[in-house]
Amino acid sequence: MSEYRDPELAKKYLEEIKKTVSQPWSIMEVCGGQTHSLVKNGIIDMLPKEVTMIHGPGCPVCVTPLNIIDKAIHLALEENVILCSFGDMLRVPGSKKNLLEAKAEGADVRILYSPLEAVRIAEDNPDKEVVFFAVGFETTAPANALSVIHAHRKKLKNYSILASHVLVPPAIKAVIDDEESKIDGFLAAGHVCTIMGNVEYHPLSAEYKVPIVITGFEPLDVLQGILMVLRQLEESKAQVENQYSRIVKEEGNPEAQKMIHTVFEVKNQIWRGIGEIPDSGYQVRPEFADFDAKRKFQIEIPEAPENPDCISGQIMKGLKKPFECSQFGKKCKPTNPLGAPMVSSEGACAAYYHFSGLVEA
């Protein structure tokens, strides 16, 4: 890993960036992993003042709709349900409480690293309903799909997923379409492209005349990605380039895509803080309805209003910086988040909070 964190190389990239830039540019890193890397490594302060990084909606935890979180909490509190989830969903605020609080009330909530573990838990607990909270971008979709395929093959009657999958390219399109947005170029998320390939980005780049560079997550990846976007901008080019070519292939991973398409179909999806984006999510196909927690449990929970003080939508569209929020570091802290970007370490607000010295003294 150290080869992607070499301080000498970093210096070279930074010098190159300074040489390249002749005017102000705004670049959005779409993925929360990149936001985290930018802030954790102190990159934002190392960039010349002409370069503004705007932190995109690429934190799946942050954009999972409030209503789905309420549903997950409701399910978790059911007597015979084991709710399995990735760890960072647990602190995300629902309308009344979060999953950690539900756990403290007695809900059986388990933190897993892979949905396949949840399938095993379902096998071991035939008298319980095991629900996996399947959240994430295209990156986690293949494993979530595979868990359904496995459960189907094993004829399990007690496994289902509560799916809230979001897709990156439609979100980029929505961000560009937003009238207030002033983004000149994009770093696209390397991990997502590992699965889906680069194909979907070419029409975006061509239609909107924006450079899109598929970028990794290590500090040097991010610096190189920024440099590649800047070079295109300065030369008035707009194309898709692949910084992360050591991992990402043009066509992505066809096997993984096959798994996704077997289990999921594309649908309109609500993004917390942003609203509905057409064709930007996955839902379980009707053939696998038995494994779809939404159909299986038919939970009706009324839509709750968001905390009116939270401006997460504007932050995720890049219209405001976290410290421009009146509640940032005041009412809203990682220990008491008003909105999701303050929860996950990949959320822009939490990243700023952790690494900017705004700490409870």
Residues of this chain that bind other proteins (CB under 8 A):
1-2, 5-7, 10-11, 33, 39-43, 45-46, 60-61, 86-91, 100, 111, 113, 117, 135-137, 139-140, 191, 219-220, 223, 333-335, 344-346, 353-357, 359-361
Q: Which is nearer to other proteins, 89 or 187 (CB)?
A: 89
Show the tokens assigned to 272.
């917390």
Q: Which is nearer to other proteins, 181 or 327 (CB)?
A: 327
Give the largest Cα separation in the chain, rounded: 66
Q: Which is nearer to other proteins, 74 or 103 (CB)?
A: 103
Nearest distance in Å: CB 1, other proteins: 7
Nearest distance in Å: CB 310, other proteins: 18
Nearest distance in Å: CB 207, other proteins: 28
Q: Which is nearer to other proteins, 111 or 149 (CB)?
A: 111
Nearest distance in Å: CB 119, other proteins: 13
Nearest distance in Å: CB 262, other proteins: 21
For 190-293, strand residue ranges (E) read 212-215, 240-242, 264-271, 275-284
Question: Cβ-count burial of 358 within 10 angstroms (0-12 exposed, 13-18 middle, 19+ buried)?
Answer: middle
Q: At what angle do helices 115-124 and 141-153 cross, to 10 degrees?
A: 30
Q: Which is nearer to other proteins, 283 or 344 (CB)?
A: 344
Nearest distance in Å: CB 226, other proteins: 13
- In residues, how long is the chain? 361
Q: Which is nearer to other proteins, 98 or 283 (CB)?
A: 98
CA atoms within 13 A on the CB side of 355: 20
Residue type, 68: I
Q: Which is nearer to other proteins, 48 or 334 (CB)?
A: 334
Rounded to whole angstroms, the Cα distance separating 328 from 63 reads 18
Rounded to whole angstroms, the Cα distance separating 346 from 16 reads 27
Nearest distance in Å: CB 357, other proteins: 4
3-class DSSP assignment, residue 213: strand
Beta carbons within 8 Å of 54's beta carbon, 6+ residues apart: 26, 27, 28, 29, 183, 318
